[in-house]
Amino acid sequence: MPENESGERHTVVGEGTIITTKSDLRKKLNYMIDVFAKDYFAVLVIDFSQDRVEVSRSSEPFVPLLSQTLSKSNTYRGFLDFYCSQYINDQDRTVLWTQLQVEEICRRLVDSGTYTVTAHHMYQGRTCPSEITIIDVSDAQDGSECILAARFLEDIVRQQTALKKQDDMVRTLVQDYNAIYHIDLDADTFIILQAHDVVNEDQYDYAYRSLPFQTAMRKFIEDMVREEDREIMLQISSCDYIKERLKRQEGYSYRFQVKPLRGMQYFEMRIIRARTDSVGHYAIMTSRNVDEAAQAELRAQREIEKANRELEAALSAARKANESKSDFIANVSHDMRTPLNAILGYDRLALESDSDEVRVDYLRKIGEAGNTLLTLINDTLDLQKIENGVTKLHLQPVNCQTITEGIMTAVQPMMDVKHIHFAFDNINSICTTIRADAVRVEEIFINLLSNAVKFTPANGEVLLLMECEKETKRELRLKLTVKDNGVGISPTFIPKIYEPFSQERTEKTVGIGGFGLGLSIVKRLIDLMHGRIEVQSELGKGTIFTVYLSFNKVKKRIAEAQTVSVDLTLLKGKTVLLCEDNEMNREIATAILEQSGMIVIPAANGEEGVNHFIESGSGMISAVLMDIRMPVMDGYAASRAIRVSNHPEARTIPIIALSADAYTDDVKKVQACGMNRHLSKPIDRKLLLQTLQVEIQSRQRQQNKR
């Protein structure tokens, strides 16, 4: 800086104002001005001995007006008048004006060297609390020269709040770490910035603080880290590795397990590049316990792996199911074509034959093939419904004797054809009434006994043995055995006997019919009843099936049902409304009814049938035969429409369902919509006429009572 003739130096400050001071004063002033420059919106140098004010630092909007005022008169009195009138609010103006008088300032500075006053500044249309600090910088310490600095208190509060938030945030973050170290990678030293709840807290201060960083790490790894993690930990915590790694990235982490006193736990080490102005390589290393999170991740990973295994098993099962489904369809298709081929073949031969005797023989064979095809269809649908979980057991009170008689009645004709000696042994003379699905129980043993008949040669022996395993007041446990002296089953084939369409082909079974569905149905029905089945067999000597079933007992014995014989004279002249959309089925049913002397009113759909009934006179129609699946209006809707109509016999007319839907659930749906009975297709002539007779007679008896 240039000096003038008196040895004084000139410095440009503020808004271009030239200040001339002595060199020692200038040093003091420059130092003080630098201290205040960042936090104060105005810093002024005041020389009371020369009555002069100079602006050293200032910010908008203080500068323009102050500079303009001082350019006209830079006296202290001029500054004070301007400052108080322009910036200080009315409430504080008088007090501040008094506190900033020259005599008051000098007095206070002589006493303490510095003092502070407060006032409310008007700034940007609002009132802001402010602080004015005055510091003595005179050589004589008499207050003749001073610095006046003003700042907004809002800025101080804002800075303090920001610092507090930053401090709270740092404190919070630090709590997440068990230890924080500052590492000098060049000197291989470290400083502990944070250490609480560390792995080996009892030894921590003494064992590691005084060691070089890499030595301390090596000792810690050998003492505390599990063996599987040691090699990688030694590598990634070496100074050379850290320096090289941090050249490429900001930081890296590694999770490892240690063996503290409270058991094996997971910790995470993270090393990041330190922000420093110093020359050299520095890093921050943190360590924290992540055992809870790691265990949760492991559990989640195990769940994912389990789900993946289950998914893979499900996919494998689905693939097998698709393969089984394809095999199943192929087998069904093959076995259906056999009787269908016979039906079509004999039908063609019957049409081409001129002999009545030959045609009758062909028609008989067509009937046999049709029954075979019907059995296959029923068994296939039955098996599919059981496997799909559609089949439900319909438990009703039934006497054990009734079930066994039903079984005997069904299988005895088969035995008679092959002259097989069939014996039924009821060891305990069981005739208890139980709660069971009689149809399904009979189905199990009819299948087992028909199998025994098929694979037992003529004049052989078949035994059905029924034993009571255990009986209490509430429960009856039965052991039922089906034994034959037939061809037997090889040990290698026994595991496959319950698979659909599986049949052992040997020289002795060649020519024996069947589809391989019977035992599949038996096994699934027994499972549905929570029972079990066992098999013993020896080739050439026969097979023994043993079935274990449990039933709840019923106190009241059920009366035996009486069989009704068909009397065509009771049906002759009666009119039946036949609702059937299929022309061939309608023709067959019409022929059966007319051959029995009945009159038939045909309807091609449910709506047509409802109209016929509503238009008929009282007593004209004796019964309604209702197909279920029809266009325009199905059998369910048609039955409901008849029941709610205004016809005088709407609620009493017998409605009998004719449907290929032949399961117990279908029967319940039929009853729910107002039908009296359910008959399955193909139509059984005797059962149809018997049902019509029973329902018509029952209605007549009710009418007679009225």
- One domain for residues 444 and 511: yes
For 340-359, what is the HEC assignment? HHHHHHHHHHHHHCCCHHHH
Residue 72 domain-assigned (yes or no): yes
- One domain for residues 367 and 403: no
Phi, psi of 192 (to 5 degrees): -85, 115
Please give the Cα distance from 120 to 128 (Å, whole number).
Answer: 5
For 607-641, what is the HEC assignment? HHHHHHHHHCCCCCCCEEEEECCCCCCCHHHHHHH
The Cα-based distances of 354 to 136, 344, 358, 360, 580 in angstroms read 145, 18, 8, 11, 34
> DSSP code of 463?
E
- One domain for residues 138 and 89: yes
The Cα-based distances of 122 to 78, 86, 88, 133, 146 in angstroms read 19, 8, 6, 18, 25
**332 Cβ contact list (under 8 Å, min separation 6):** 376, 380, 501
Please give the Cα distance from 331 to 186 (Å, whole number).
Answer: 81
Residue 300 domain-assigned (yes or no): no
- One domain for residues 425 and 521: yes
At 522 the pLDDT is: 87
At 336 the pLDDT is: 66
Number of structural domains in the chain: 5
At 490 the pLDDT is: 86
Residue 3 domain-assigned (yes or no): no
Please give the Cα distance from 401 to 398 (Å, whole number).
Answer: 9
- One domain for residues 116 and 186: no
**12 Cβ contact list (under 8 Å, min separation 6):** 18
**42 Cβ contact list (under 8 Å, min separation 6):** 55, 57, 58, 59, 62, 66, 148, 149, 150
- One domain for residues 84 and 194: no
**End-of-domain residue from the set 254, 289, 324:** 289
**End-of-domain residue from the set 365, 387, 409:** 387
- One domain for residues 537 and 412: yes
Segments forming the whole domain that contains residue 620: 568-705
Decide if 460 contacts 486 (C-beta within 8 A).
Answer: yes
At 19 the pLDDT is: 42
Closest CA to 553 of 431, 388, 403, 688: 431
> DSSP code of 376?
H
- One domain for residues 25 and 90: yes
Please give the Cα distance from 72 to 56 (Å, whole number).
Answer: 17
At 320 the pLDDT is: 73
Please give the Cα distance from 415 to 603 (Å, whole number).
Answer: 44
The CATH number for 283's domain is 3.30.450.20
Q: What b-and-e string marks burial along 475-499, b requiring 16 or more CB atoms within 10 Å of the CB?
A: ebebebbbbbbbbbbeeeeeeebbe
- One domain for residues 515 and 594: no
- One domain for residues 124 and 273: no
The CATH number for 533's domain is 3.30.565.10
Residue 310 domain-assigned (yes or no): no
Beta bridge partners of 331: none
**Residue 654: is the preceding peptide bond cis (ω within 30°)?**
no
Residue 294 domain-assigned (yes or no): no
Please give the Cα distance from 230 to 13 (Å, whole number).
Answer: 64
Q: Provide the residue type at 660 as one letter.
A: A
- One domain for residues 412 and 549: yes
**pLDDT, mean of each 10-residue run, the chain (706 residues):** 43 41 60 70 86 77 62 80 84 90 91 88 79 86 86 72 65 69 90 66 54 89 88 92 91 85 78 77 87 84 87 82 64 63 79 85 80 69 63 82 84 86 84 86 87 88 91 90 90 83 61 65 88 90 93 70 67 93 88 92 94 93 92 93 93 89 69 88 85 89 76
**End-of-domain residue from the set 127, 159, 191:** 159
Please give the Cα distance from 261 to 204 (Å, whole number).
Answer: 14
Please give the Cα distance from 429 to 418 (Å, whole number).
Answer: 28
At 563 the pLDDT is: 54
The CATH number for 351's domain is 1.10.287.130
At 125 the pLDDT is: 73
Adjacency order of strands within the sheet including 179-184: 189-195, 179-184, 282-289, 265-273, 251-258
Residue 527 domain-assigned (yes or no): yes
Decide if 522 contacts 447 (C-beta within 8 A).
Answer: yes
Angle at 515 between CA 512 and CA 518, to 5 degrees: 105
Decide if 97 contacts 80 (C-beta within 8 A).
Answer: yes
Beta strands at 421-426 and 461-471: parallel, antiparallel or unpaired? parallel
Please give the Cα distance from 640 to 477 (Å, whole number).
Answer: 44
- One domain for residues 653 and 695: yes
At 13 the pLDDT is: 42
Largest Cα separation within the chain, whole Å, is: 158
Residue 496 domain-assigned (yes or no): yes
